Amino acid sequence: MILAIDTTAGTTAAVIENQQVLGFSEFDDRFGHAENIGSAIQQALQRAQVTAAGITSVAISRGPASYTGLRVGMAAGVAFATARSISLHAVVALDAVATAYPSENSWLVISDAKRGEFFACSYSGVDDSGLAIRSSELEVLKPEQLEQYSNLTKVDLNCDAKLVGLYAEKAIAAGVELHDATALYLRSPDVTPSTKKRVTG
Amino acid sequence: MIQIRELVSTDIDDVYRLEKQIFQSDAWSKQNLTADSEASHTNYLVITEDEKVVGYAGLSSPPGSFQADINTIAIAESHRRQGLARQLVERMIQLATRHGAENLFLDVRADNPGAIKLYQGFEFEHIDTRKNYYQPAGVDALVMRKEIYQPLVMGIETSCDETGVGIVRGNRLISNALNSSMEIHARFGGVVPEVAARAHLEALKPTIDSALSEAGIEIADLNAISVTNGPGLSGALMVGIGAAKAIAVAQDKPIYAVNHLVGHVGADILERGSLQTPSIALLVSGGHTSLLLVRDLLDDVELLGETIDDAAGEAFDKVARVLGLPYPGGPEIDKVAINGNPYAIWFPRGLSLPKDMAEHKYDFSFSGLKTAVARYVEKAEEAGEEVQVSDVAASFREAVVDVLVTKAVKACAEYGVPRLILGGGVTANARLRELAKQKCDEAGIELRIPKFSLCTDNGAMIASLGAQLVMAGREPSSLGFGSESTMEVSKVQSL
């Protein structure tokens, strides 16, 4: 039984087993991740009528997404897995969305990257396990750069813990490793090395 | 009406009268009673009926001993068999627990089966017998002991650039694991919030794992989790909050959201055994310069003053940059200042002039000082003079330390507080330690500086504050708290 956590948009948690969502909790507030993460996990467990001890692995969403919120969910997932000594799986949010919303032809999954830009990745189909196949790198695109993908079906839907959990379960069953649990920021921190400034004219 | 309250000096005559009536030849002298009840490591309670003393009890719990003794417990003949002794024993156990005792001892006459039974009811065990202890009757004393289980608490600290996870049991330090992102910040000349937050997420699991393995415990053994939720960098705080909440839910443990600055004061408990109050605390780091009056660690912490611009540690970093020294500036300036003359250049003491003291008596300002140093260096360079880096460093350091210590000692004097606790990374500064020692000695103030690993940001101090809340029987925080980057010191716990 998987506990899935996603904070790429709102704060969501889900309990997944056999591709069924047994419990789901969602808090919409885009600035309330730290406040809501504990209750989201607790509610998802309660709604699935399981205790924390019934969870056998944790799946987290590793972005790309807005950094501060993303880290809250990732930190929670890492800590939950550590606290219960169970395995941790980290899912690329765009992969989870792409897998949940496949298209006949190639498709492009995008999400808000702030500063007028988009996180994006294109997909060309679905493999035997039902996982979407990437046909590009994960990218940060400006609006005008999106045009080069105008021939692709655009999927602009939020990720959530249900999608993350369902993706993780399929991937684990197919033997796909989801061990890289580093956050996908896709940008360097916005900072430049300091220089000495004069105080006298 | 029956009441239980703390003994005050005017109760001594009544208590002594009862003592003589009840214990007769074993009775303490009035002098002993007075001295013991006034000692800093004892707590005496009296039971009164309509303001008349009908019973009393005294507990001794020397700081750092991890044990307590019920020195005496007595109920007037006229008021026995009303459950009053039971109430006093309960209160003694609560106090011993709150003071961090792991064992509570008492002596009881072997010919007093009622009292022995009462203590057994509270799980006191008979561990030893002192033959013919009570004279002249030659009655044995039974030594009884109750084990007190102190809470095992994990504290998580991520308010700035240190990922800290510490574990304490009551007042006892068990482990204190730390991962710092300081080196990554070095090339930026200061802590970059986004860089710090990224580093916390990566350091989280290894730091939790090492705190647990160092302590030799499992997360399931914990009684509570505590976490810093302010003040500090929001994005950094949120990493710790997310982790702490998940552990609380995963192991069904209570969670305590606590104040980072008050945590610094709580660090002293891990060395001394309990916090002596009132205390003045001077917390100096790269992020804070705060002067606190702590009348009670959990209920009464007052901010006397703080920096109105740069923190002291920040000033060291900025001046180090001016002098071409690496980050972090504190240790570097300390190093070159050794060979410098601290009186070579007179740099301004911020907010120390009479006109500033009216409004900012205990506030600090280091921004003007930093500018003064930069101006001095630039002028010298323009004039083609060689800058004596060691003199500039020593004079700058003296200006910072002078203001810090002068204001802290002044606060001790004004509020009549005989002790000063230092905390924060800047306590590593050799001159700060030296001058604080000198000025405190002169003023008859006890100076407490915890070891460095407990002075810098760390998880153990957060665990310690959480443990104090548990030991005092406080309610845990709800799961809904958030980060508060500008949290005030008066808010010790977020509910």
Task: Check CB contact under 8 Å for A75 and B188.
Answer: no
- Reported as a pLDDT band with limits 50, 70 and 90, residue A192 is confident
d(CA B80, CA B279): 40
| d(C-alpha B176, C-alpha B459), whole Å | 6
Residue A87 to residue A81: CA distance in whole angstroms: 6
Contact assignment for B247 to A33 by CB distance below 8 Å: no
B483 close to A (CB below 8 A): yes
Task: Give the count of Cβ contacts less than 8 A between chain A and B.
Answer: 138
Report CB contact under 8 Å: A71, B235: yes
Q: Quote the number of domains for chain A.
A: 1
Q: Could you give the CA distance from residue B227 to residue B241 in angstroms, rounded to a whole number?
A: 6
Specify the CATH number for the domain of residue A141.
Answer: 3.30.420.40
Amino acid letter, residue A136: S
Kind and range of the H or E run holding A26: strand A20-27
B188/A67 touch (CB, cutoff 8 Å), yes or no: no
Q: Which among B157, B185, B238, B379 is the top mutation candidate for probing chain A, defined by the most A β-carbons within 10 Å of its own β-carbon?
A: B238
Chain A residues closer than 8 Å to B347 by CB: none
CB-based contact A185 B198, cutoff 8 Å: yes
* Beta carbons of B371 and A39 less than 8 Å apart: no
Residue in chain B nearest A193 by alpha carbon:
B188
Residue count (chain A): 201
Q: 3-state SS string over B322-349? A: HCCCCCCHHHHHHHHHCCCCCCCCCCCC
Chain B residues with beta carbon closer than 8 angstroms to that of A38: 245-246, 248-249, 255, 479-480
Closest Cα in chain B, distance from residue A172 (Å): 22
Tell me whether residues A74 and B242 touch, CB distance under 8 A: yes
- Whether B201 sits inside 8 A of A183 (CB atoms) is yes
Find residues 172-201 of chain B whose CB sits inside 8 Å of chain A: 187-190, 192, 194-195, 197-198, 200-201
Residue A183 lies in a domain: no
Over pLDDT 70: what percentage of chain A?
98
Q: Give me the pLDDT at residue B186, please.
A: 87
Residue A188 lies in a domain: no
What distance, in Å, lies between the first and last C-alpha atoms of chain B?
A: 34
Average pLDDT over residues A79-87: 98
A26: phi > 0 → left, psi -120 to 50 → alpha, else beta; which?
beta
pLDDT digits (tens, 9 = 90+) for A44-76: 999 999 999 999 999 999 999 999 999 999 999
Token pair for B488: 């005030």
Confidence band of A201 (pLDDT split at 50, 70, 90): low
Q: Do B242 and A76 touch (CB under 8 A)?
A: yes
pLDDT at B318: 94
**Contacts with B213 from chain A: Cβ below 8 Å:** none
Contact B494, A35 (CB under 8 A): no
State the helix-helix crossing angle for B430-443 and B329-337, rounded to 10 degrees: 70
Q: What is the ipTM of this complex?
A: 0.97
Is B244 in Cβ contact with A191 (below 8 Å)? no
Of the candidates B119, B1, B106, B93, the one whose C-alpha atom is nearest the C-alpha of residue B54 is: B1
Residues 6+ apart with CB under 8 A from B243: A75, A76, A78, A79, B156, B204, B208, B227
Structural contact between residues B172 and B152, judged by C-beta atoms closer than 8 angstroms: no
CA atoms within 13 A on the CB side of B452: 7
Task: Write out the residue range of the structural domain in which residue A77 sits.
Answer: 2-173
pLDDT recorded at residue B406: 97
Q: Which helix (H) or strand (E) holds A6?
A: strand A2-6
CA triplet B364, B370, B373: central angle to 5 degrees? 135
Inter-helix orientation angle B389-415/B329-337, to 10°: 110
Token look-up 């010191």 returns B489
Residues B266, B164 contacting (CB under 8 angstroms): no
Residue A85 belongs to a domain: yes
Give the amino acid at B373.
V
Residue A113 domain-assigned?
A: yes
Residue A197 inside a domain? The answer is no
Nearest chain B residue to A77 by CA: give it: B246
Q: Which residue of B has its CA nearest to A88?
A: B205
A79:B244 CB<8 A: yes
CA distance B71 to chain A (A): 43
- Asked if the structure places residue A199 within a domain, the reply is no
Query: Cβ distance B471 to B455 under 8 Å?
Result: no
Task: From first to last of the 495 residues of chain B, give the pLDDT tens digit.
Answer: 899 999 999 999 999 999 999 988 788 999 999 999 999 899 999 999 998 999 999 999 998 899 999 999 999 999 999 999 999 999 999 999 999 999 999 999 999 999 999 999 999 999 999 999 988 889 999 999 999 999 999 999 999 999 999 999 999 999 999 999 998 898 888 899 999 999 999 999 999 999 999 999 999 999 999 999 999 999 999 999 999 999 999 999 999 999 999 999 999 999 988 888 999 999 999 999 999 999 999 999 999 999 999 999 999 999 999 999 999 999 999 999 999 999 999 999 999 999 999 899 999 999 999 999 999 999 999 999 999 999 999 999 999 999 999 999 999 999 999 999 999 999 999 999 999 999 999 999 999 999 999 999 999 999 999 999 999 999 999 999 999 999 999 999 999
Q: Which residue of chain B comes nearest to A70, CA vs CA?
A: B239
Domain-located, residue A180: no
Q: How far apart are CA B324 and CA B333, in angstroms?
A: 10
Contact A167, A123 (CB under 8 A): no
8 Å CB contact of A41 and B245: yes
A50 inside domain: yes
Give the mean model confidence (pLDDT) for residues A23-32: 96
